[in-house]
Structures are given as structure tokens and as C-alpha cells.
Amino acid sequence: MRKTRYPATFGPADRSSGFTLVEVMVVVIIIALLGAIAGPAVFSRLRVAQEERVQADLNTVESALKLYRLDNFAYPTEEQGLEALISEPSNARAWRGPYLETMPTDPWETEYQYRNPSDHGLDFDIFSFGADGVAGGEGDDADLGNWPQD
């Protein structure tokens, strides 16, 4: 059996080079500058994506409500709520659901709200309270619904 010998210590020729503190600081500063430049663009795009997701969810729920109306000759009452799309309400005429497999939640993980009769002159209102989870608000906290947005 042949033994391989390894040097006990590394000499000057074997010394590994690392990064100096100045080099590390330059890299950190460059990353911070890139984040400062790209950050606002990313966050504004995030808001647009959240609004688009809410609109897609509202269209899905609205379609399910229209199917419910075709079968039952009326939209669910506000007391029945959107749950009537998933499980049969006690006073349904000809429920052929479920009209939705699960109820979607908004991007802030809150259930969508349902109002019948509508406050906006529609057959019904479906809406999200926005990022703050309470009625009203502006910007990220604004309510998003199936009514025409101002």
C-alpha cells in the first residue's frame, strides 16, 4: 500500500487570495444602487399585477353568479353570499353547482365581498377592500370592484 503525503502547512506559494474589505464594500454599494434604481419600478409593477389579479377573480366570480342566476332565476341574496356558489343554499330552486370549486381570495388573502342589491347601479357588487382590508381608501388601500373604476 502506498501512502500519499500531504504538506502539513501551506507555504507562501500555496496561499489563497480573498477579497479585501474595500472590494466587498464596492460590491455592496453597487448592489444597493441597482436596488434603488430598480425597486420603484418593481413595486409599481406589483401594484398593477395585484389589480389585474383582482379583476380576473372578479370576472370569474361574476361568471359563476350569472350561471347561478340561470339555474335559480335570481342572484344569491346578500345573506347567502358568495358561499351559495360553492354549497347549495337551503332555499335554492334548481341549484346545479358548485359553480366554483373554491372561493378565490384577493392578493391580500382576504375574501371578496358581495353586495346585493348593488350600490353602483349593477345587478350586484363584488369587491375587495384593498391592501388595508377596510372600506374606502386611496392608492394601494383603494377598494377594487366590478363597477367602473374612476
State the CATH class of domain 24-145. alpha beta
Residue whose cell numbers read 342589491? 117
Q: Using one digit for the tens of pLDDT, what is the confidence trace for 95-135? A: 888 999 999 999 999 999 999 998 888 999 999 998 888 88
Q: Domain limits of the chain?
A: 24-145
Q: Enumerate the H helices of the chain as residue ranges.
A: 21-72
Contact by Cβ (8 Å): 99, 115: no
| This prediction's pTM | 0.69
Distance CA 136, CA 1 (A): 82
Instruction: Give backbone dihedrals phi and psi of 145, rounded to 5 degrees, phi first.
Output: -140, -175
In this structure, are residues 73 and 96 in contact, taking their beta carbons and an 8 Å threshold? no
What's the pLDDT tens digit per position in 9-67? 555 555 567 888 999 999 999 999 988 888 777 777 888 888 899 999 999 999 999 99
